[in-house]
């Protein structure tokens, strides 16, 4: 399962790379920092850092998706009025 999530996270990072500042890269950075802190205190493993960053990326994709859904709903409501 983690291999699938690694692939999805990598593709997401590549897609959002050229879109300027966004939630995907922001949460990936937060995930990296949190992963490093957890790895330092629990015996350093790269896998902990990578998993934390993947979780951050997937949260960022969710946040970006919610933002775009919200924008679409606003545009539809403006067209109806």
Confidence of residue 72 (pLDDT cuts 50, 70, 90): confident
Return the SS3 of 28.
helix
Q: How far apart (Å, rounded) are the C-alpha atoms in residues 65 and 72?
A: 11
The per-residue pLDDT of the chain, averaged, comes to 91
Of 21, 59, 66, the closest CA to residue 74 belongs to 66
What predicted TM-score, i.e. pTM, was given to this entire model?
0.85
CB atoms within 10 A of CB 47: 10
Per-residue tokens: 81: 């009025």
The 10s digit of each residue's pLDDT in 25-41 is 999 999 999 999 999 99
Please state the domain extents for the chain.
45-81
């Amino acid at each position: 399962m983690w291999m699938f999530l690694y692939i999805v996270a990598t593709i997401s990072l590549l897609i959002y790379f050229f879109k300027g500042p966004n939630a995907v890269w922001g949460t990936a950075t937060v995930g990296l920092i949190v992963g490093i802190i957890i790895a330092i205190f629990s015996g350093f493993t790269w896998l902990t850092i990578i998993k934390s960053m993947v979780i951050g990326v997937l949260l960022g994709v969710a946040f970006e998706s919610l933002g775009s859904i919200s924008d679409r709903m606003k545009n539809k409501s403006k067209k109806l009025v």
